[in-house]
């Protein structure tokens, strides 16, 4: 347990005990409650990869502010520590505290921009670890304030210098889809992010435009993006932070098709249930679809399951989750999963049906069809390397049976 007292008013640690008591007594439903009113405090809760982040307040404040901040903390931590789990946090106690110190001050969020934090607190790496062991000097907080705090562009460090100027733009898309029991596509939308990794010297002013901005349904921007050019011409004009950051996120709704089809068939009779699932490519996107997985939760009334596949591996995990790892779809056959589920003795027929969650990845393609038109730099340095990449993976891709 990690604790950071933020205001002069001390919060008693017993609130955590209270919280854990309730988690134990009420189970998962309590854990999924983001705002909890305890007898003494209001708690905000964010659970990320098994780690619970709690913030508490006694007075009125926007709850989203608390939650959003906790999310940022967890993002920054996982960014710094290269992952988020108990061991990593234990190993880097000092850094976590230092980060929290910088991120929040007297109960108000301060610096949450990862790039700036990086300047103040060096991320852990082997060199610094060795150094600290050797020299005994464990602090890795830089003595100087980052230059950005003084500049008018708070997200950018003063004047970075790079030998080669590079900008990489990644489109990372996630496809959310729901296919109902009749096999009809109920909802299909793409949630995408434009990630930029910029290593530019000076104060670059970039302009990014899309070939087809009209397909964007919703957008959200990094603070560096100027709103007015977007309003008028749908052009992203921004002074990028140094390093990697999420420039914008977008959503494109009402797509017509999914790259994969999943056809589950469940027939239940006489205390048994026959399962047959087919997976195949519906619309060939032109690039290979890999890392295909299929996961579903077996209904609670099932005693045992006997499932086999003609391609990939099938595992049934402890909590009755069945996962089928397919990988790539072979050319010669259609992968299928089949087998029988044995129901509880009293049941004759299955009346609840599992939902299949599909995972996949397509490299080098943005499924939404969004295309970056051009990226311009206003004050072009001598050499500028621009790189574009795209990636699509499955978000909430669900097939009901």
137 touching another protein, by CB under 8 A: no
Please state the closest distance from residue 102 (CB atom) to another protein, in A. Answer: 13
154 touching another protein, by CB under 8 A: yes
Virtual torsion, Cα 83, 85, 88, 89, nearest 10 deg: 110
Q: Are the CB atoms for 260 and 221 separated by under 8 Å?
A: no
Rounded Cα distance, 397 and 336, in Å: 18
Assigned token pair, 335: 């992968």
Q: Give the footprint of another protein on residues 224-253 (CB under 8 A).
A: 227-228, 230-231, 246, 249, 251, 253
201 touching another protein, by CB under 8 A: no
Q: Give the footprint of another protein on residues 371-390 (CB under 8 A).
A: none
Rounded Cα distance, 395 and 401, in Å: 19
Q: Are the CB atoms for 263 and 182 separated by under 8 Å?
A: no
Among 16, 122, 158, 301, binds another protein (CB under 8 A): 301
Assigned token pair, 239: 């002074």
Among 12, 13, 26, 33, binds another protein (CB under 8 A): 33
Nearest Cα neighbor of 395 from 214, 232, 252 is: 252
- Enter the DSSP assignment of 148: G
Give 36 or 94: the residue with its C-beta nearer to another protein. 36
Among 15, 347, 377, 384, binds another protein (CB under 8 A): 347
191 touching another protein, by CB under 8 A: yes
Residue ranges of alpha helices (H) inside 295-346 are none
Per-residue binder mask for another protein (CB under 8 A), 93-132, x = binder: ---------------xxx-x--------------------
400 touching another protein, by CB under 8 A: yes
Among 29, 144, 232, 319, binds another protein (CB under 8 A): 29
Taking contact as CB under 8 A, which single stretch among the options 42-50, 88-96, 257-265, 281-289 is the one that binds another protein?
Answer: 42-50
17 touching another protein, by CB under 8 A: no
Q: Are the CB atoms for 224 and 292 separated by under 8 Å?
A: no
Q: Total binding residues for another protein by CB under 8 A?
A: 72
Among 118, 156, 311, 357, binds another protein (CB under 8 A): 357
Residue 358, burial from CB neighbour count under 10 angstroms (0-12, 13-18, 19+): buried
- Enter the DSSP assignment of 368: T
Among 223, 280, 369, 387, binds another protein (CB under 8 A): 223
139 touching another protein, by CB under 8 A: no
Residue ranges of alpha helices (H) inside 278-374 are none
Give 106 or 135: the residue with its C-beta nearer to another protein. 106
CB atoms under 10 Å from CB of 260, counted, come to 24
């Amino acid at each position: 347990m990690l604790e950071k007292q933020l205001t002069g008013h001390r919060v008693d640690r017993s609130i955590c005990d209270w919280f854990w008591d309730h988690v134990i007594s009420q189970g998962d439903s309590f854990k999924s409650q983001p705002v909890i009113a305890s007898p003494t405090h209001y708690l905000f809760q964010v659970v990320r990869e098994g780690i619970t982040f709690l913030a508490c307040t006694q007075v009125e404040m926007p709850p989203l502010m608390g939650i959003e901040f906790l999310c940022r903390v967890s993002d920054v931590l996982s960014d710094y520590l290269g992952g988020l789990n108990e061991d990593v946090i234990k190993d880097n106690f000092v850094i976590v505290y230092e980060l929290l110190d910088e991120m929040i001050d007297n109960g108000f969020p301060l610096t949450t921009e990862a790039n700036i934090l990086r300047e103040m607190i060096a991320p852990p790496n082997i060199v610094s670890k060795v150094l600290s062991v050797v020299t005994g000097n464990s602090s890795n907080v830089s003595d100087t304030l980052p230059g950005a705090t003084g500049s008018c562009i708070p997200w950018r460090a003063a004047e970075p210098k790079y030998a080669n100027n590079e900008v990489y733009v990644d489109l990372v898309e996630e496809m959310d889809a729901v296919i109902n029991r009749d096999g009809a596509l109920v909802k299909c939308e793409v949630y995408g992010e434009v990630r930029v990794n910029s290593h530019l010297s000076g104060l670059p002013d970039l302009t990014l435009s899309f070939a087809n901005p009209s397909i964007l349904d919703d957008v959200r921007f990094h603070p560096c993006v100027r709103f007015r050019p977007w309003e008028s011409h749908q052009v992203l004009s921004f002074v990028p932070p140094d390093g990697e950051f999420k420039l914008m996120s977008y959503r494109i709704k009402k797509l017509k098709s999914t790259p994969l089809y999943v056809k589950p068939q469940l027939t239940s009779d006489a205390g048994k249930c026959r399962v047959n699932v087919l997976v195949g490519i519906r619309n060939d996107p032109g690039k290979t679809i890999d890392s295909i997985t299929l996961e579903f939760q077996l209904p609670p009334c099932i005693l045992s399951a006997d499932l086999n596949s003609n391609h990939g591996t099938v595992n049934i995990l402890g909590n009755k989750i069945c996962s089928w790892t397919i990988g790539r779809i072979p050319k010669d056959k259609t992968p299928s999963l089949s087998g029988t589920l044995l129901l509880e003795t009293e049941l004759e027929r299955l009346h609840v049906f599992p939902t299949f969650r599909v995972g996949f990845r397509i490299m080098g393609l943005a499924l939404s069809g969004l295309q970056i038109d051009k990226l311009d730099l206003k004050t072009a340095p001598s050499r500028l390397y621009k790189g574009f990449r795209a990636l699509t993976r499955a978000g909430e891709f669900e097939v009901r049976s």
